Structure 1
Amino acid sequence: MWKAYFLKIETHKYTDPKEKVLVSFDKGGLNIGSLKAFNFALVFKWWWRFLKNPNDLWARVVKSIHGHNFHSNHSSSSVWASIVSVCSNITIKKLLPTDCFRMLIGDDRRIRFWHDLWVGNEPLSHHFNRILHLDSTPNAYISDKWVDGNWLFTWVRDYLGGRNEDLINSLFGIIGKPVLCDRPDSWTCSLNNDGRYTVKKARELIDHLLLSTSQVKTIWYLFMSRKVNIFLWRFRLDSLPVRWNLSAKGINVSSIVCPSCNNGVEYRDHLFFECDVARDLWHKIRIWLDCDMPQMSSWDSFFTWLEDIRLRQLSKDRIIAVVVTSLWALWRFRNGVVFLDSFCNKSSLFDFIRLITFRWIKHRGHLVSNWNSWLSMPL
């Protein structure tokens, strides 16, 4: 087992641009998730297993060495003490809520009155530590204290004092009367609606706190290739290595002129919408689609037009597939010109887009079936 204490908990948000890929689609990333959050969620699962399966052999061995309380004896240098330390820090730093593990009352034979979380947001021993030390049975279960419909406590002395009496009255106001049933006591996790602890959900919650977010939500089309979706993500964030972006980052480039048309500075909107190659391509696509598509000037303007136009969803998906593939093909054409690749034939660019789009939406999205109808009536 790896050493859990190598996991250093830091609650500041990442600012490294490379971390953008880790966040979820809703927050502008690629939904990969961070290994830090994954490790935290895996370590935290040991706490859940310790509570959920107290009679397993490994749990009994841990209890015999470190005690019955999960958080006891965590100052040693053992592996288990390191796991306990990480779990404690996760709750202290509020990466996961402290009350995410809670006991469900059944027959009251497994819930310790003072030390288990069964009412409120924390164990009663945390809030009523003063009167806990006055109880002669601090490790008793609820079933030991709930006798014949009344709470039964045995104190170490007869006179408790006015302050302690007030605390006891406050305690009774919180615990009320437990509702018992025939099933055994059990643990539940509030992170999921079904009461189970899952590493996936815990990882999502930790990533939400640790990772920075973007104002641009990620669009991911299942009927498109993964590499094209990743390209579209970089395109919308303006993080493609066009010459203007490279120059702005201080990278020495021989020229910032557009390699596709040799006319104008190569920034994103010029390469994909204003370049002569791009303009000719979008003109052919508008004629082929035979729809009232405006002159492409940006992705946002295209998406605004697509939302307003009255077409069935199948036709809209086909238009999206053609436009996204065209953007990717323009980028591929540009790289072919820069790196002297074989794919730099402008005359075949339009036919390539129609072919590759047909293959993707036929086999991935089942949006089209016949090649001849695709060529003549794509919508």
Structure 2
Amino acid sequence: MASVILSIYGSHYNGWDANTLVRWLNRCPWKAIAQVFQEFSLFTQFVVGNGERIRFWEDLWWGDQPLGTQYPRLFRVVLDKNIPISSVLGPTRPFSWNLNFRRNLSDSEIEDLEGLMRSLDGLHLSPSVPDARFWPLSSSGLFSIKSFFLALSQFSGSPQVSLLSSFGILKFLSK
């Protein structure tokens, strides 16, 4: 089933996110599913392996916010906001710190960069282990439709839940 969906709709460059750039038909069930992807992402956690699929600035993988949110001054001046962890840090220690900025950094931005470098000092990439996603809503760490439905039902007023309801998808998910 997944290969059929991928062949029709494609996927995000990292291979596991929904492709939201597709031109959807008005009553396409996959459109409704893809539109709750933001809510789905709120419930997933990244497990860093080799750093090839997790975005350094935009994904939540270190701390309680994405690094782009933790370091907004650096994020504003970085050239590639979608760069994977491995491209920034390199595969081995010491890290290469391949950050490309649009201009020279100000003193306060340099302080932020020093803080970022210090905070990631304890990180170790595992070049032979792929990045993974963890589903904390189940004891096994594996995604289940039921746990997602229960979490999503907390957003009962959201337009995404209404959209899923209109396709009968919530009735299916609740079983």
The two structures have a TM-score, normalised by structure 1, of 0.32
Distance across 1 between alignment mates of 2:23 and 2:74: 26
Contact (CA 8 Å) 2:135, 2:141: kept in 1 or not? yes
Number of equivalent positions: 147
**Is the alpha carbon distance of 1:168 and 1:179 closer, same or farther for their aligned partners in structure 2, counting shifts above 3 Å?**
same
Q: Distance in 1 between matches of 2:155 and 2:77?
A: 40
Kept after mapping to 1: 8 A contact 2:44/2:133: yes
1:111 pairs, out of 54, 57, 60, with 54
For the 8 Å contact 1:67–1:73, the answer to whether it is kept is: no
Q: Deviations over 1:299-338 (max 9, x none)?
A: xxxxxxxxxxxxxxxxxxxxxxxxxxxxxxxxxxxxxxxx
* Paired residues of 2:18 and 2:37 also in contact (CA < 8 A): no
Question: Which residue is equivalent to 2:34?
Answer: 84
Q: Rate the CA distance shift 1:155–1:208 in 2: closer, same or farther, 3 A.
A: closer
The match for 2:132 is 186
Partner of 1:142: 85
Distance 1:145 1:177, change over 3 A: farther
1:186 deviates by 1.3
Given that 1:107 and 1:143 are in contact with CA atoms closer than 8 Å, whether structure 2 keeps it comes out as yes
2:63 to 114, 120, 135: 120
Aligned residue for 1:164? 109
Separation of aligned partners in 1, 2:118 and 2:107:
17
Aligned-partner SS, 1:187 = strand
TM-score by length of 2: 0.61
Return the letter of the residue paired with 2:125: L
Q: For the structure 1 residues 110 and 209, does the alpha-carbon distance in structure 2 shift closer, same or farther, using more than 3 Å as the test?
A: closer
Tell me which moved more, 106-115 or 77-86.
77-86
Larger radius of gyration: 1
Q: 3-state DSSP class of the match of 1:58?
A: helix
Secondary structure of the residue aligned to 1:103 is strand
Q: Give distance in 1, aligned partners of 2:152 and 2:137.
A: 12
When residues 180 and 191 of structure 1 are mapped into structure 2, their CA distance, relative to the original with a 3 A threshold, is same
* 1:353-368 to 2 correspondences below 5 Å: none
Partner of 1:195: 141
Amino acid at match of 1:84: A
Question: Structure 1: which 5+ residue stretches go unaligned?
Answer: 1-52, 211-379
Letter in 2 for 1:83: I
Contact 1:106/1:180 (CA < 8 Å) preserved in 2? yes
> How well do the aligned residues superpose, as a CA RMSD in angstroms?
3.6
Deviation at 1:82, TM superposition (A): 3.5
Give the share of equivalent positions with the same residue, in percent. 20
Deviation of the 1:171 alpha carbon: 2.9
Which protein is richer in helix relative to its size?
1
